[in-house]
Structure 1
Amino acid sequence: MEALLFITAAAGVVSSPSSHEYRFVYEPMTWADAQSYCRRMNSDLATIATMEDMKTLNKMAVMNNMVYTSYSYRAWIGLYDDVDSWRWSLSDSGFYRTGEDSFRKWQSGEPNNWMSTERCGMMTGEGLWQDGPCSSARRPVCANITGPGVSFVLVQSGMNWTEAQSFCRKQYSDLASIRNESENQQVQQLVPAGTKVWTGLYRDGWKWSAGSRSSFSYWKSTEPNNSNGNEKCVLATFDALGKWEDWRCDVEKAFICSSTVVFQKVVSVKLEKTSGLDLNSAAVMEELLSQLLLKLKQGLHADVELSWRKQSDGNVFHKLKEKNPTSV
């Protein structure tokens, strides 16, 4: 039996060196205005997913005479610091009722993400919250959940936030998640005066405007540094280093738009029918697509869509004609 399979896939699924098409725009805009402009053009601020993408941009900058010729050698890309993405370690556990995960008790001036390194939540002896470097060694407060109730335990050993999360999940339920003022007071009672402890609050941090899951980064050695306390957007530089810097989002700069390259291809699929199944049945074709898609996506990092292509008689599968034996 033979059928035609229609494949739609983002570049990178096949052997393309880059999964994006880029366009430099030299009219200076703020990061937000640049994002809006790109989206009106059916694209988005540039996603840079690989070193090949970065090399492509560097070549384009040279061709457009953008390399260190003036202060405009920087251009906005789609990376930004999502400062509102604070969430609890228990967020996906079903522990919260509606709205219970939104309680916050930040100390004045916090969170401030000092030097762009503070992405984990702490509580002080006064019961107020601060953000801090996740790599710091502090004692964690764990949550022990029993049915609808929860109790809290202060661990006596210092560890970084990731180690604290693993420890609490192994020994108890998780790092402490605080749903209201009453629970905040319970945790505060465990915190010795003048100290800070880990809670389960953290934030995801840097994200791409287009929603990509890419974790590629190309920072300068001293970046990101959030030097003025408000550097939440990213510029690609095209000087000798050609790396990234965090900047204030309201600065007007040139920018780069990108769109995902999509490949479409029709391929012939041959199947050997060994049972009485009707391969043109909608249920059978859907199951075959699911299995093919699962195999195709193994080890790939791009979106793939599959669909069957109907032929002139309205069917997808057709029985192959047997070849006549060669006469002697």
Structure 2
Amino acid sequence: MEKVLLIIIALSGLSAVSSHAERQYHFVYEAKNMSEAQRYCREKHTDLATVDSMEVVKLLNDMLDPNKLGEHGNIYRVWIGLYDDLDSWKWSMSDTSFFKPRETKFKQWASGEPNNEYSGEHCTDIRSNDGLWNDRRCAARINAVCLDVRGPNATFVLIESAMNWTEAQSYCREHHTDLASVRNLTENQQIVELLPPGIYWIGLYRDSWKWSDGSSSPFRYWAGGEPNNRNYNEACVAAAFHNSGKWKDADCGLRKHFICYKSVVPVSMQVIKVRVQKPNGVDLNDPAFLAAMLVEAKKNLRAQGLDDNVQVAWRKQPDGQVFHKEEEEKKKRDEL
């Protein structure tokens, strides 16, 4: 039996191809509100742009064609996929068994609340005079109400020590169970009866800025003083390209140009050298034999943990053959 060498550089070989998701950005020079822009991007591409690094910021700055922005107001400001999820309130208490169905939805907001009036009002206080709730900046320093849980029963504990919301949460978790979670009107009244006049932290808070495509990137590129919710309803984000692409919160109903992205799958090729021993009576260049070997090769790659996106193929040499005898290949290389 003869040994043959499968050369996989420029001559011939077996190629393994794998993929990694990347993004291709597209400026759309049509004025739309945020919802319209999102719908357009999802229909034509993948979604509104997720900007998760300075490299992407620089890329977008280079891509912008200022001559196409036109006169649609707020010139050079275009929608990206970041938005303020105003309805993402949840309880600090993470044990879901504490809540019966629909109890997590109980809210006792004061009229007009939550309004995010000063931007960043992501935490909740309770007023002692009427038991109604307000959203408040989490950095405010006020007293708090903790929760002690014993089986299905909840006991509320007043903490008369001014702390920001995060400090209050840590204190309650260390000394009790958590910041107060309020499941119903009865428990809300129990807290009111406990409190001296004033306002107090409870455990309701919300996740703030989120990406339209669900990405979890924490990267932010706010302009100075932003986000400021200046008009009390600025829950969407535009990149200001007259200011290096820095971000500004804005009313989602405004009509602006926007940036979409499309997921692309780049192809990378791995070259593998193989040496096989020729079985008696087998033509190694027979198409049926080559196809059978590819099936086995893909099985081996899958066993090594590679997914089904991997493709394998033979690369033919200039004479149209895949395999040559090893000594012939050596002679060819020596002659070069």
Q: Shorter chain as normaliser: what TM range?
A: 0.7 to 0.9
Aligned with residue 39 of structure 2, among 36, 45, 52 = 36
Deviations 1:3-29 (A, max 9, x none): 987633224xxxxxxxx2111111111
Aligned counterpart, 1:109 = 112
Matched letter for residue 111 of structure 1:
P
TM-score, reference length from structure 2? 0.74
1:98 aligns with 2:101: yes
**How many residues get paired?**
279
For 2:99 and 2:115, locate their aligned partners in 1 and report how far apart those are by CA, in whole Å.
26
Stretches of structure 2 lacking an aligned partner (at least 5 in a row): 1-13, 274-295, 315-325, 328-336
The equivalent position to 1:178 in structure 2, one of 165, 168, 182, is 182
2:265 aligns with: 262
1:21–1:261 contact (8 Å) kept in structure 2: yes
Decide whether aligned partners of structure 1 residues 173 and 306 sit closer, same or farther in structure 2, where only a CA change above 3 A counts.
Answer: farther
Structure 1 stretch displaced more, 69-78 or 166-175: 69-78
1:138-189, Cα deviation, whole Å (9 max, x unpaired) = 1121111111111111112111111111111111111111000011011112
Supply the distance in 2 between the matched residues of 1:5 and 1:184 (Cα, whole angstroms): 62
> Quick one: distance in 1 between partners of 2:191 and 2:163?
18
Q: 1:8 maps to what in 2?
A: 19
Structure 1 residues without counterparts, runs of 5 or longer: 12-19, 271-279, 293-304, 313-322
Among 191, 206, 225, the alignment partner of 2:195 is 191
Q: 1:80 matched to which residue of 2?
A: 83
SS in 2 for 1:142: strand
Residues in 2 aligned to 1:73 and 1:179: alpha-carbon distance in whole angstroms: 47
Backbone CA RMSD of aligned residues:
3.0
2: CA distance, partners of 1:268 / 1:189? 74
Q: 1:165 to 1:285 in 2, by over 3 A?
A: farther
Name the residue aligned to 1:143. 147
1:215: how far off?
1.0
> Aligned in 2, Cα 1:306/1:175: closer, same or farther, shift over 3 Å?
farther
Contact 1:154 1:190 in 2 (8 A): yes
Write the letter of the residue equivalent to 2:261: S
Give the alignment partner of residue 126 of structure 2, picking from 117, 123, 128.
123
Matched, 1:53 2:56: yes
SS of corresponding position for 2:18:
strand
Q: Residue deviations 1:268-310, cap 9 Å, x none?
A: 799xxxxxxxxx9xxx998853xx8xxxxxxxxxxxx676668
Counterpart residue number, 1:300? none
Quick one: distance in 2 between partners of 1:285 and 1:143?
54
Superposed CA offset, 1:27-75 (max 9, x none): 11110001001111132111100011111111111x4536898843111
**1:105-139 Cα shifts (integer Å, max 9, x gaps):** 00001111012120001101120000001011111
Q: Could you report, residue by residue, the CA deviation over 1:202-247 in whole angstroms, capped at 9, with x for unpaired residues?
A: 0001111011111111111121111111111111111144311111
- Aligned amino acid, residue 77 of structure 1: I
Q: Which protein is bigger by CA-based radius of gyration? A: 2
Give the SS at the match of 2:62. helix
Q: In the alignment, is the contact (CA less than 8 A) between 1:119 and 1:202 conserved in 2?
A: yes
CA contact (8 A) 1:75 1:235 kept: yes
Q: Identity across aligned pairs (percent)?
A: 46
What residue in structure 2 maps to residue 153 of structure 1? 157
Q: Take 1:22 and 1:311, find their aligned partners in 2: how far apart are those partners? A: 31
Aligned residue for 1:239?
Answer: 242
Q: Is the 8 A contact 1:5 1:306 kept in 2?
A: no
On the 8 A contact 2:18/2:311 being kept in 1, the answer is no
Q: In structure 2, do the counterparts of structure 1 residues 186 and 7 end up closer, same or farther at CA, with 3 Å as the change threshold?
A: farther
User: Aligned equivalents of 1:151 and 1:268: distance in 2?
Assistant: 66
Selected match of 1:223 from 226, 237, 244: 226
| SS of corresponding position for 2:168 | helix
Q: How far apart are the structure 2 equivalents of 1:143 and 1:268?
A: 61
Using structure 1 for the length normalisation, give the TM-score: 0.76
Whole-angstrom distance in 1 between the partners of 2:167 and 2:311: 51
